[in-house]
Amino acid sequence: MALIQVRDLVKEFDGQTVLSNINLDLKEGDVRVLMGASGSGKSTLLRCLNRLVEPSSGSIIFRGQEVLGPGVDVRELRKQIGFVFQQFALYSHLTVLDNVSLGLRKLHKMGKAEAKEKALLELSHFEMTPHQDKYPSQLSGGQKQRVAIARALAMDPAVLVLDEPTSALDPVMSRDVADLINRLHGEGITMICVTHDLNLARNIADTVMFLDRGVIRADDRIDVLSKHSDPEIKAFFASEEKF
């Protein structure tokens, strides 16, 4: 059984359909990549998975349980589906260590010493322990990304959701992020990633889902999509440019 099953998911904003009958499965240990032009609904779909955005209709099943509806513990769901935001969303007034330990104290109810130990352990996995007392303004883009991922993984989620993880990074840092994602994949971390970066997509996944105007129009290997019979899909994946 898939870890996450999305069935016939619809999201409307002010009468406009942003997502239309989305269906996808995410299996344990998978890395799934979602691509599409700006405004295609990619980030909205990610936010529906842990109910940062409420779908209009459809079903999201996580570990065999429906997660849409009034009786669901949304805070518990968000512990299980960790989110790394496009602009990192680090708290500017908190140090690196406090950014990572805050959720452990507030959501997991850990004591300060236990949360610090857990946070330092996670930061050590990303070689960020020497920067624990710095503030986000003192970090490079790549370092901020590592802290954001460390913060999400410190919560021990079942799934890591990455929204445009290289959008604010230069090519060298983007390659570092690809290496990091592949390392996490090797450790068995389940991930779904939205990106406009074809190089990143090629480096982290064998297949890509293509979302266009709220509809998943293709799910295949990039080399197949770059020769697709649909000229729009072919043009998107044949290009090396970022969208």
Q: 3-state secondary structure string, 116-170?
A: HHHHHHHHHHCCCHHHCCCCHHHCCHHHHHHHHHHHHHHCCCCEEEEECCCCCCC
241 pLDDT higher than 50: no
| pLDDT (0 to 100) of residue 88 | 85
Give the pLDDT band (50/70/90) at residue 243. Answer: very low
Contact predicate 82/152, CB 8 Å: yes
16-65 confidence digits (pLDDT tens): 999 999 999 999 999 999 999 888 999 999 999 999 999 999 999 999 99
- For residue 183, what are the CA distances in angstroms to 61, 78, 179, 186, 203? 27, 23, 6, 5, 12
Q: Residue 239 has what pLDDT?
A: 67
Average pLDDT, integer, range 148-156: 92
DSSP three-state, residue 98: helix
Average pLDDT over residues 5-25: 95
pLDDT given at position 169 = 80
Q: Is the pLDDT of residue 188 over 70?
A: yes
pLDDT exceeds 80 at position 145: yes
For the full predicted model, state whether its pTM sits above 0.85: yes
What is the pLDDT, as a whole number, of residue 65?
A: 92
